[in-house]
Structure formats: C-alpha cells, structure tokens
Chain A
Amino acid sequence: MNCERCSEILIEYIHGGLSPEERETVAAHLGGCEECSREFEDYAEIRRAVTEESPLPEPSREVMAALSRAARDEVARERRPFWKRLPLSPILIPALTTAIALMVWFYYGQGGGDYMDTVSRDVMARKMKEQDSSMETAGQAAPEMRREYPAEAESSPAMSERGAADEGMPAAPPADVYSLSDQAPDATADTEEDSDVKGEAFTETAAKKSLPARPLSQTESLLADAANDYSGQLRLALRQQTEGDCDASIKTNETLLQSTPEPPGYVRAQSYRSLAECYEKQGKLDLAVANYTQLREVSPEESSFAESKITAIRQKSVHKLGIASPTPGPVN
C-alpha cells in the first residue's frame, strides 16, 4: 500500500469502517511509514479534541417551554373540528360575506336573463297550455265542422293551426273556433283539467331552449314524454281522419288506446270520438255506437253529444230497416 492510498482510507480506518484485511494492511503501512503515522496521530488528536470538548450550552428553559407549549397547542388544534380551526378574524368574516354576496349577484345579477327566462318560461308554459287547450278544442271541433261545414273544414284556420302545431310551431287559434262547435267550451274545460301533464311537457320544452331550467323529476319527465307521445299519435289519427284515410286512422287510434300506461282521459276521449266517426263513416254503425258509448263514459262533458249521436245512428238504422223491410200493415 502506498501513502496516497493510505491517506484515502485513513479516516475510515479511524472510524473502524474497513474490512479486516484492509485494516491489517493499513496498520502494517502505518508501522513502517512515519509520514502516514503522523497523519494518523494528528487525526486521532483532532477527533479526541472534538469529542472531549467542553459541552456547549443547553437550550434555555424558556425555549424548551415555548416549544412544548407550541406542540400542545398544535395537537389540541388538530383535535378540534375543522370548522373551529378556521381563524375567525375580523377580516375573514366580512371578506367571506362579500364573496358570497358577489357570487349570488354574479349568478342572478349577471345571469338576470336566465332569471327572467325562468319567469317568462312559466308564463309561456301557461300560455301554451291555453293554446293547447284551444287546439284540442279545435281538434274536437274539426270532425264536427267537417261534418257540418265540409268546405270550410278543409281550409279551416283551426286545422292549419293544428298542422303548425304538428311541426312544433305553437300558434294561437282564432277566436271563432269555439263557434264551430257547441261542444268546444266544455271540451276546453276538460282539457284544462287534464293539461297539467302537458303543461309540464311544455315547460320542459321551453326549459331546453333557455338554460338553466328547473330540473324535472324522473316521474315528471316520463309523464311528459308519454303525454307528448300520446298527443302525437292522436294528432296523427286526426290528420288521417281529416285526409279521409279512415282505416289508417282507426289503426292509429286502436294502437293509441292499447298503449301502456293508459293515455290521459282527454286523449282517450278524442280517440274514441275519432274512431266512432270513422266507423260511422264506413257504415259500421254498431262499432260507431260502441265507441260513442266509450266516449260518453270517458268524457262526461261529451255525454250529451255522444248520446245524441247514438240516438241519431239508431234512428238511422231503424229508418234503413224500415225502408228495407216491408211495412207492416195497419192493425185492424
């Protein structure tokens, strides 16, 4: 071992960090090399001087006490619920209050349009509900009108309005729609009773157009969807009937009436009436009577109309029978 290598590992040798073989080699070198031996002795002397040095001052009692107190305070603070750990400074509370007020203002103030939309949405939903009632009235009136005023029925503003409604464009019906049928006011009352679900549907439609909207519950959404679907089918059946395709109209109405869950009362009433009129048109008077009977049961408001139709059909049948069968001779 040369002196350079010995110097490199001498500190480790002093600290007992070498392998036994290396220690023996170093010891042998130190025994024969005066320079390295002196270096070793100097290091050992420094080490002894450092370790035997008089002790440095201890931390003062005040420092120890302050640290101990800090530790206890910290542990106690940790045990408190988190909301009590918040510093309730005289600055924090007003700052938080202001921040919350600003958030509210930004949400409702900046988004004032949204708030107004919510209000106007409700108003619009109410108006559309009224329009819907009017359209249903027009729907009820249409066959009647077609029957009584065939020429006007084809070009009726009420029918064209309903066509517009089919395309999702609500339009106000003309004021004279009610004059086309004496059943219209009653029908309006009927539809107003049943129109809550539709009102929700319109609200939802309006809500989709202007966000944010009041979220509908799942039940409300399902009912709204179902009401939309029934209304669509009913409108289709009425259109088919108007276009003279009674077979298709009957099929649509039957599908509608067999739907699950059961369609709302005003839809079933319209559907039974449409069926009855189609069957009557096709000359299937017994089926027509059966559907007018259903209409009478489903819609008490239209019972007088249904009754009059049934009576008329029976009279017509009797009249036909009277023509066909030989007239009985006078009883002597």
Chain B
Amino acid sequence: MRKFQNGDEGSFDLLLGRHGAGVLRFIIRMTGAEKAQAEDLLQEIFMKVIERRKKYDPGQKFSTWLYSIARNHCIDYLRTESYRRHSSLDAPISVEEEGGAVVIDLVRSGDRDQEERAFDLEVKELIDIGVRGLKEEFREVFLLREVEGLSFEEIAVVTESPLGTVKSRLRYAYKGLRQVFTESGYFEERQKAKGV
C-alpha cells in the first residue's frame, strides 16, 4: 500500500488480487447481495481505497483499513436498501427476503413448516441464512473473525468498538447461529450420523 501511495500503480493490482475475493465474500455475507450487486459494491469500495490512499496511515494494517471502508460501505448500502424497501410497501416480497431474514424470523418464531424447510437446507445455506439473520453488529464481528480471519483487536478497530464488546458480540453471534442450526435439526442429524 505504501508503494501505491507513492505512485506505484502496479502495487494496487497486488492488493486487489490479495484482498479482492475476501472483500467480495464479506460483502455478499454482510449484505446478502447477489454477485453482480456485490461486485458493484466491491468496485465502489476499492475506488474509495484509490481516492483515499493518501489518508492511509502506513502504521495501520492494510486489511484493517480496507475492512473499515468495506464495513462502512456495506452498512450504508444496507441502510439505503432498508429505506428503499420500507418506502415501497406495495412491492412484492423478494426471493432474497423469502429465503433469508424472513426465514430466520419464522424459524425463531417456531413455525414448524419453515423449520422443516430449513432442516433440508445444506450447511452452506444454513450458514447463509443464520448469518443473514444476525443483527448487523453481531454479523459483522462474526464475518470479520471467522471468515476474514481478523484478530479481536483488529475487529475492534474496524468496528470502532471496545475489545470486550467485540468478544460479547461474537458470543451472541454464535448463540444465534447455534439456535438456527439446532432448530433446523442439523445437530440432531449429526448425532445420528455419529451413532451410525
């Protein structure tokens, strides 16, 4: 990043290659956006990196700085989307809503039909649904820690939160996911498989 700051445009390609996929994954998990939309967000995030390169402090870890930008951009996007959805009450419920947060809400409410549907989902889908159903502040901590591999201290910087808050938010995220996995019957199936 320091080379890019000093005008070495080739070093940007290295940064992009190293972090592009991770940020895209974070965007998809954080926002639940489709790939095309997530790529648009990825471009916007890296354009901010280009524009703000002079503001980057070389003493800070680049991934921390990058995920701060990505996280804030995702939050802005989610708020805009939330406003857009609430302002168009007549619009039909999207597929994303039907398979995402709405499902989690229904699972949590004890709707057995939806629970049975969730039981059949693959682990990946369970994780998708579980993560998307988490509160925003729990979701970002979980993704940064378990998917992107940032340390607790780095997450504290990215989310501008105290270290203890980061740890407790991760605990709540795990509890939420465990509830989803439990109610889907995943753990029960696993026990049966182990027994066999």
Contacts and interface: CB of A to CB of B under 8 A. Distances in A.
A and B are partners in one complex rather than unrelated chains: yes
B176 to A, nearest CB: 10
Contact of A71 (B4, B126, B178): B4
Contacts of B20: 58-59, 64, 67
Interface residues of B, number: 39
A59 B42 contact: yes
Contacts of A196: none
A49 B25 contact: no
Given A71-B4, A72-B9, A75-B9, A11 B170 contact: yes
Contacts of B8: 75
A189 to B, nearest CB: 72
Contacts of A53: 123-124, 127
A112 interface: no
B190 A54 contact: no
| Secondary structure call for the B interface | helix
B47 A70 contact: yes
Contact of B147 (A50, A60, A64, A72): A50
A277 B125 CA distance: 121
B28 A56 contact: yes
Interface residues of A, number: 37
B127 A71 contact: no
Contact of A11 (B28, B42, B174): B174
A43 interface: yes
A185 to B, nearest CB: 77
B35 A57 contact: yes
A56 B25 contact: yes
B12 A71 contact: yes
Contacts of B174: 11, 43, 46
A17 B152 contact: yes
Contacts of B46: 67, 70
A68 interface: yes
A58 B127 contact: no
A12 B181 CA distance: 21
A-side binding surface: helix, strand, loop or mixed? Answer: helix
Interface string A1-30: 000000110111001010000000000000
A275 to B, nearest CB: 77
B51 interface: yes
Given A47-B146, A53-B124, A71-B4, A42 B21 contact: no
A182 interface: no
A308 to B, nearest CB: 87
A11 B170 CA distance: 8
A280 B123 CA distance: 128
Contacts of A70: 46-47, 50
Contact of B146 (A45, A50, A56, A74): A50
B171 A67 contact: no
A58 B24 contact: yes
Nearest to B51: A74
Contacts of A39: 178
Contacts of A17: 152, 167
Contacts of A35: none
Contacts of A11: 167, 170-171, 174
A222 to B, nearest CB: 51
Nearest to A47: B146
A41 B8 CA distance: 48
24 contacts: A11-B171, A15-B152, A43-B174, A43-B178, A45-B187, A46-B127, A46-B178, A47-B146, A55-B21, A57-B24, A58-B20, A59-B20, A59-B42, A63-B39, A63-B42, A63-B43, A64-B16, A67-B20, A67-B43, A70-B47, A71-B12, A72-B9, A74-B50, A76-B9
Interface of A: 7-8, 10-12, 15, 17, 39, 42-43, 45-47, 49-51, 53-60, 63-64, 66-68, 70-72, 74-76, 78-79
Given A53-B124, A72-B9, 13 more contacts: A11-B170, A46-B127, A46-B178, A54-B124, A55-B25, A56-B28, A57-B35, A58-B21, A59-B42, A67-B20, A70-B46, A71-B13, A71-B50
Interface of B: 4, 7-9, 12-13, 16-17, 20-21, 24-25, 28, 35, 39, 42-43, 46-47, 50-51, 123-124, 126-127, 145-147, 152, 167, 170-171, 174, 177-178, 181-182, 187, 190
